Amino acid sequence: MADAHADLVHTEYTSTGLRSTKLAMWLFLASECLLFGGLITAYVLYRGQSTTGPYPQDVFDIGYTSVSSFVLLASSLTMVLAHNAALARDYARMRLWLLATAMLGLCFVGGQVFEFTSFFREGLTLHTNLFGSTFFVLTGFHGVHVTVGILMLLILVAFSFRGSLSDDPAFPVEMVGLYWHFVDIVWIVIFTVVYLIPAPPPHGAV
Amino acid sequence: MSSTDRRTEPDTAAPPTGPEPHVAYHPSAREYIRVGLLLIALTCIEVLLSYSSLSGTKLVVALFACTIIKFVLVVGYFMHLKFDNGRFSRVFALGAIGAFTLYAVVLLMFRVWSS
């Protein structure tokens, strides 16, 4: 029994005393910076290079996207409150905040689906122009990340109801939280670079 | 939920013979709400800036200043890097600063800012 515990402890911690799962999560998030950095760079590189419309200024609705940003920021707050509740061993409140986070995430993804649909109706698709290609790939990848985060949150809630979370439920909540907050900081950058900084005039325009 | 600050050990199952577990500070719910409100205020400022008469470099600098503050607040408080073991900060900084440097060089090569 003692050997089994020692083995578990041995695999759970690195030689630095840091928990290996947490270190792996931070390494994963660091690698994700490179992924999203590449996608954001591609978008910036091709800004104003499209030869046919629709252009960003034709389709963007800053007011609508601002509301989506507020929703995602609020979800980060509810996520951290879920972690706080888990640390206090208040599991009912933890589940409540986790569900609130998942609901806010669903609102964000729903808003993104609506935005994509309206852009599609205005003639902007993945193949229309460089703006369409880079925009849909960047924001689509982000949307997929949010969706994966929602699934992780719901799985966490289901595990919590079944009582199959580990002895320290605050730890898995913290790990899912790190992923969720990362998705939030990526959106903070996307919101500024893609939506708020005005695009240069279309290619060839006087 | 308690609004008082408390100190907890995040690695509660730390090996007794291993290195000393890092004692992390966890902000209270009230402190998190304050940070959340600050983030919303900064987003409001960003949106107002985008509708303002500011343009060109001044607008971009102002927007990026707000973005960087928001980024640091989320990473520092919500992701606990401000209070956690410094090694985690270094791992994340390696990816974040590495990615920023790499892609800044790519954009400079393509003369994005000079066009």
Question: Which of A27, A108, A188, A203 should we substitute to test contact with B (largest number of B Cβ atoms within 10 Å)?
Answer: A188
> Do the Cβ atoms of B62 and B3 come closer than 8 Å?
no
Taking contacts as CB-CB distances below 8 angstroms, the residues of chain B near A93 are 1
Higher pLDDT, B115 or A64: A64
Asked if residue A159 has pLDDT above 60, the reply is yes
| pLDDT, chain A, mean | 89
CA geometry: angle at A62 spanning A80 and A42, to 5°?
Answer: 80
pLDDT the model gives residue B113: 63
pLDDT the model gives residue A85: 94
d(CA A110, CA A150): 12
From the list B66, B71, B102, which residue is nearest A37 (CB)?
A: B102
Distance from the Cα of A127 to chain B's closest Cα (Å) equals 23
> Do the Cβ atoms of A65 and A191 come closer than 8 Å?
yes
A19-196 folds as Four Helix Bundle (Hemerythrin (Met), subunit A) (1.20.120)
d(CA A93, CA A85): 6
pLDDT the model gives residue B13: 46
- The stretch A165-194 carries a mean pLDDT of 92
H runs (alpha helix) in B4-85: 29-51, 56-73
d(CA A134, CA A198): 16
Asked if residue B7 has pLDDT above 60, the reply is no
Asked if residue A6 has pLDDT above 90, the reply is no
d(CA A100, CA A163): 20
- The stretch A183-205 carries a mean pLDDT of 86
> Do the Cβ atoms of B83 and B32 come closer than 8 Å?
no
- Name the burial class of residue A57, with classes exposed (0-12), middle (13-18) and buried (19+) by CB atoms within 10 angstroms of its CB: exposed
- The stretch B95-99 carries a mean pLDDT of 91
Given the cut 0.90, state whether the ipTM is greater than it: no
pLDDT the model gives residue B57: 87
pLDDT the model gives residue A142: 97
- The stretch A161-190 carries a mean pLDDT of 91
| pLDDT, chain B, mean | 80
pLDDT the model gives residue A49: 82
d(CA A118, CA A113): 9
For B12, nearest residue in chain A (alpha carbons): A168
Per-residue pLDDT band at A192 (split at 50, 70, 90):
very high
- The stretch A94-118 carries a mean pLDDT of 96
- The stretch B69-96 carries a mean pLDDT of 92
B 73-112 near A (Cβ less than 8 A): 74-75, 77-80, 85, 87-88, 91-92, 94-96, 98-100, 102-103, 106-107, 110, 112
Asked if residue A166 has pLDDT above 60, the reply is yes
pLDDT the model gives residue A175: 95
CA distances to A23, A203, B9, B18, B21 from A15, rounded to whole Å, are: 12, 55, 18, 8, 12
Sign of CA dihedral A82, A88, A91, A92: negative
**Which helix (H) or strand (E) segment is B85 a member of?**
none
Residue spans of the domains in chain A: they are: 19-196
Helix (H, G, I), strand (E, B) or coil at B52: coil
B 47-66 near A (Cβ less than 8 A): 47, 49-51, 55, 59-60, 63-64, 66
d(CA B107, CA B101): 10
- Classify strands B24-26 and B6-8 as parallel, antiparallel or unpaired: antiparallel
CA A64: distance to chain centroid? 18
d(CA A40, CA A134): 8
A 4-43 near B (Cβ less than 8 A): 6, 9-10, 12-13, 16-19, 22-23, 26-27, 29-34, 36-38, 40-41
Per-residue pLDDT band at A201 (split at 50, 70, 90):
confident
> What are the tens digits of pLDDT across the range B11-66?
444 444 444 444 467 888 899 999 999 999 999 999 999 998 887 889 999 999 99
Taking contacts as CB-CB distances below 8 angstroms, the residues of chain B near A76 are 36, 39, 74, 78
